[in-house]
Chain A
């Protein structure tokens, strides 16, 4: 289906990534946000608070991030599309509710405008510090999807996509922004509503009595959804549950539920991954990057090519699930993977795990607070090519 024109600000804009992400959410049909201010993400909820009265929906500023990250989930079961917006310290507080969204299959989008940590760190400085937290931060085993925009335009486009993926798979979907992408201003084209593809919730057509809130088929691992007030008298719990949503804390039940929940993502990883490659064919060196770092990396790649190095770029538009299979294919020809990140080495561990010794993997770390210098990445490429 197409976007509801009420939420779509069609036209050419000169806005920053935070504002663009908010417009993406509105275009995707987000009509409820429970927020809590935190630098550098606050502009997203500020814009939502200003826009939503005329679009039709609700914004509420909650008392803390714990409240925000669960109020949105209440709103999903009330029938709304929702998002959760924060940065590192807030994300740490929200972690329990990430697990709740996962086990209850509550579709929601989480935007993390990453800043420098640990703890309060440098609140106004960019980082890519939370790449592992979103993957592993909530207790227990779970899976998420994480998208990494590298421009305000992508903040719009990928937010729409994040909402569509959340509805399709019924998992929390992350938009992993960073302070630079959030605060940089560029041209953003917002298409007409009829040109924006929006995935509707997978509403059940089953009547009360027939409908089981978590019933699935072997062909389709994603259950149909309903909302409170439809007469289905559903039960939703964070406990291990059966198809009716009732607690069932037996090992077979745990095995069945967790197997399906994890399998939804791992079993469909090939469909979900998105890696943008630039001259990786026959490259000796492949630079793997994501988010704003991919733009710094492109400059370094170009300069290295000018010096005669056969270097390719591989950008993770979707970081989770990680494109391990593609990395293994690339490792058949590439001798070295160079992985610049604004952290002390997070996604580089995934690259290492995927290539499993078939090629050398070189991290180019950065503690955060600014982006890499082009020269730092360039010299890592040059070193790798020797």
Chain B
């Protein structure tokens, strides 16, 4: 994207051919993400998923919370909502229920979705709310300067764990699975094609979809723990990732710089909240009930 910073440059023409550009708000580039950050790579995969999905982009809305990943909504050329910290999922719930024809994607970070927003995450999965949730997991609070997150594994130093983290981190796929998500996958930003494919599947899947994306935060997480730059983390993802589709989610927890299980872990069907509502009211109220569709 940096090629576009100078609109008079020749590279602009080159950039115009970039297949993901139509999905971005060009007038909002450059973005705020640091060099080596993995969020942009995940957004690239998401744009490719949008391109491959064949869906009407006017009918896709994106909702983010607060934080580095929370800025994603603002860069995508979709109806986009940058909400409050932790509350992207309930906002998206209201949006989806008001207009069920929309495909609503929640795109936010691990702290936003699973710490301050953890309660909403659990309940939206339990209800099987028809939302696709993309969680970019960089194991830290980036925007505030690198504090411990609910995903930080045991060991690494964070500003609020200055002597190393002694709290256990979440196994997010296990959490999503246990709460009832119908689709659960994890990829890293090394796996751009698999990630784009998972996102495309997620866009077409009905119900609560959860995709975890491991992404480097070179500025805070890596540098503070002497893990090198963004590329070094992607190399780590390449070397230590093991693809295990269908793996038991209880077995896919992450450790500090340890093995990473990636793949599609859950793909099942159960009625969404709205389908359940319509079916139930139809049964109980008979002719007096008109199926709700927005």
The B interface is mostly helix, strand or loop, or mixed, namely helix
What's the Cα separation between A77 and B123 when bound, in Å?
Answer: 22
> What string of 1s and 0s marks CB contacts (under 8 Å) between A214-248 and chain B?
00000000000001111111111111000000110
Knowing A54-B289, A56-B290, A229-B79, the reply to whether A75 touches B95 (Cβ < 8 A) is yes
What's the Cα separation between A71 and B27 when bound, in Å?
Answer: 29
B120 interface contact, C-beta 8 A: yes
Quick check: B74 and A54 within 8 Å, CB to CB? Answer: no
Count of chain B residues near A, Cβ 8 A: 45
Knowing A62-B90, A231-B58, A235-B25, the reply to whether A32 touches B82 (Cβ < 8 A) is no
Quick check: A66 and B281 within 8 Å, CB to CB? Answer: no
A15 interface contact, C-beta 8 A: no
A186 interface contact, C-beta 8 A: no
Quick check: A74 and B93 within 8 Å, CB to CB? Answer: yes
Provide the residues of chain B in CB contact with A64, threshold 8 Å: 119
Quick check: A70 and B91 within 8 Å, CB to CB? Answer: yes
A57 interface contact, C-beta 8 A: yes
Knowing A57-B292, A229-B61, the reply to whether A71 touches B101 (Cβ < 8 A) is no
A382 interface contact, C-beta 8 A: no
Provide the residues of chain B in CB contact with A73, threshold 8 Å: 83, 91, 94
B4 interface contact, C-beta 8 A: no
Knowing A54-B285, A100-B83, the reply to whether A233 touches B99 (Cβ < 8 A) is no
What's the Cα separation between A82 and B93 when bound, in Å?
Answer: 14
Chain B nearest Cβ from A99, distance in angstroms: 9
Chain B nearest Cβ from A138, distance in angstroms: 11
What's the Cα separation between A75 and B81 when bound, in Å?
Answer: 12
Chain A contact patch, size range: 35 or more
A80 interface contact, C-beta 8 A: yes
State which residues 241-294 of B face A: CB under 8 Å: 273, 277, 281, 285, 288-290, 292, 294
A60 interface contact, C-beta 8 A: yes
A97 interface contact, C-beta 8 A: yes
Chain A residue, CB-CB nearest to B81 = A236
B147 interface contact, C-beta 8 A: no
What's the Cα separation between A211 and B183 when bound, in Å?
Answer: 37
> What string of 1s and 0s marks CB contacts (under 8 Å) between B105-131 and chain A?
000000000000001101100000000
Quick check: A70 and B285 within 8 Å, CB to CB? Answer: no
B87 interface contact, C-beta 8 A: yes
B73 interface contact, C-beta 8 A: yes
Quick check: A78 and B99 within 8 Å, CB to CB? Answer: yes
State which residues 82-102 of B face A: CB under 8 Å: 82-84, 86-87, 89-99, 101-102
Knowing A78-B95, A229-B58, the reply to whether A34 touches B79 (Cβ < 8 A) is no
What's the Cα separation between A1 and B89 when bound, in Å?
Answer: 34
> What string of 1s and 0s marks CB contacts (under 8 Å) between A67-101 and chain B?
11011111111111010000000000000110010
Quick check: A74 and B80 within 8 Å, CB to CB? Answer: no
B63 interface contact, C-beta 8 A: yes
A-B contact pairs, 28 of them (CB 8 A): A32-B94, A53-B289, A56-B290, A56-B292, A57-B292, A58-B97, A66-B120, A67-B87, A67-B93, A68-B90, A71-B97, A74-B92, A75-B97, A75-B98, A78-B94, A80-B98, A82-B94, A96-B84, A228-B81, A229-B61, A229-B99, A233-B80, A235-B25, A235-B73, A237-B74, A239-B82, A246-B74, A247-B82
State the 9 A-B residue pairs at the shortest beta-carbon distance, nearest first: A78-B98, A74-B94, A71-B94, A67-B90, A74-B95, A75-B94, A237-B82, A75-B98, A228-B79
Q: Which residues of A contact B (CB under 8 A)?
A: 32, 34, 53-54, 56-58, 60, 62-64, 66-68, 70-80, 82, 96-97, 100, 227-239, 246-247
Question: Besides the contacts A68-B90, A232-B79, what 16 more A-B pairs have beta carbons closer than 8 Å?
Answer: A58-B292, A60-B97, A64-B119, A70-B84, A74-B63, A74-B92, A76-B94, A77-B95, A78-B94, A78-B102, A234-B79, A236-B82, A237-B82, A246-B25, A247-B74, A247-B82
